[in-house]
Amino acid sequence: MFNHLCKDPFRFFFPLAIACLLYGCSLWFTYAFFGIGEAPITQHATLFVGGFLYFSILGFLLTAIPRFTGSNFLSLWELVIFIVHLMGVVFSYFLDSHIFYWAFIASGWVTFLFFAVPRFVVRKQNPPFTFVFVGLGVVLGLLGSSLNFLAALESGIFGALKPWGKLFFYDGMVTCFILGVGGRLIPGILGFVESVAEQRRRYEQPKRFLSIIPRDIIFAFIAFILSLVLEGFGLVSTAFVIRGIVITYFSFKYWRLHEKVKSQKWHGKVLKLSCFMLLFGSWVICFGTEYTIHFKHLIYIGSYCLMTLMVASRVIVAHSNESLDIEFKKWPALALGIILLIAAFTRASALFIEGSYIRHLGYTALMLGIAVLIWISVYFKKVLFHFSEENN
């Protein structure tokens, strides 16, 4: 069993990520419609980013990095250490210990660096050049979780670090992984094989990784960091515009959102929808900074959540005995796209619907929960059943 988990660690990480998302939805649903507990304002955000997205990202990277670099899969001891870290995150959440929660997440990123850096050094081939954003995402994840840990440890001394921690971990980290991984993965799924071939001709050369990074990626990299710094110092509008420009550049240069999807797969079409939502939401927040937290849910739900489910679907199917035919079918991709799009706009507009703000948050949680259950009904069994077949 452990040998298979070492090769495909997503089989452990993805189910745990989905459980966090489903539980987070249940908190808002039961509060909004049945008045159970207190408003889970902090809890649902913690479960979404620190649970669902964090576990999904780690599961994907631990599975993909050995394949992109031509290096070794996870060792048994590395797997055990990661499992301990993840269990520590889960238990510290339920024990309501913010100090240990962020400590386990930060230590998880440290462990990831001990996994990834040696494999990058001895790589047989370069990873895609957009993966420079993956490196930045890891740094932001580690820095953000460390700042959140310090703020939880002593709010009087380190309380001012909390906004920076949230900025780096909740927004910077996740967007970096979308740009980094998506710069190579998204055009491939959308059927732009010539773009993939052009990238591969550049990054598969036997050269130092930094030397194969094109100038446009370097400029985008610097601009993205600048946007985070400006936002942290209160220049929010300027920061959003700069970040919007970076995302727009990726949207047209690498994802080619202005062109028709060449693949006939519904999976690709819905993935493209999640890219559009990132682009759309990134510009909406530029013109409504007083409603930023509400409008950002266009990105959190319509892009982060939908894109993660689509990428997880691709990983699961690609690592199973089944063909990719399911990606050509409308079910469940179209259903997930429609439900999560409605959920994103429901949450973003909830503040403007007089007298029913909390109830609309409940509607959002209900739709998210339905989408997750649909995803589980189709893909969860592919993780478990295929895994059980491998062990027979």
Domains of the chain: which residue ranges? 1-117, 126-256, 264-392
Instruction: Note the pLDDT of residue 4.
Output: 83
pLDDT band at 263 (very low <50, low <70, confident <90, very high): confident
Q: Give the CA diameter of the chain.
A: 62
CA angle 195, 200, 202 (to 5 degrees): 105
CA distance 64 to 335: 27
The rounded distance, in Å, linking the Cα atoms of 55 and 70 is: 23
Nearest partner of 53 among 105, 5, 104, judged by Cα:
105
In the chain, the amino acid numbered 25 is C
Q: How confident is the model at residue 386 (pLDDT cuts 50, 70, 90)?
A: low
Three-class secondary structure of residue 1 per DSSP? coil
Q: Is 234 left (phi over 0), alpha (psi -120 to 50) or beta?
A: left
Place of tokens 């998204």: 186
Q: What is the mean pLDDT of the chain?
A: 94
Q: What is the pTM of this model?
A: 0.95
Cis peptide before 214 (omega within 30 of 0): no
What are the structure tokens assigned to 230, written together?
A: 């400006």
275-311: b or e for each residue (b if 16 or more CB lie within 10 Å)?
bbbbbbbbbbbbeeeeeeebbbbbbbbbbbbbbbbbb
Q: How far is 225 from 32, CA to CA, in rounded Å?
A: 38
Q: How far is CA 223 from CA 100, 217, 248, 300, 337, in A?
A: 33, 10, 12, 22, 30
CB-CB contact of 273 with 341 (8 Å)? yes
Q: Is the confidence at residue 283, as pLDDT, over 90?
A: yes
- pLDDT, average across residues 60-83: 93
Taking the CA of residue 139 as centre, how many other CA atoms within 13 Å lie in the half-sphere pointing to its CB? 8
> Tens digit of pLDDT for each residue in 315-368?
999 888 777 788 999 999 999 999 999 999 999 999 998 788 999 999 999 999
Tens digit of each residue's pLDDT (9 = 90 or more) over 158-175: 999 999 999 999 999 999
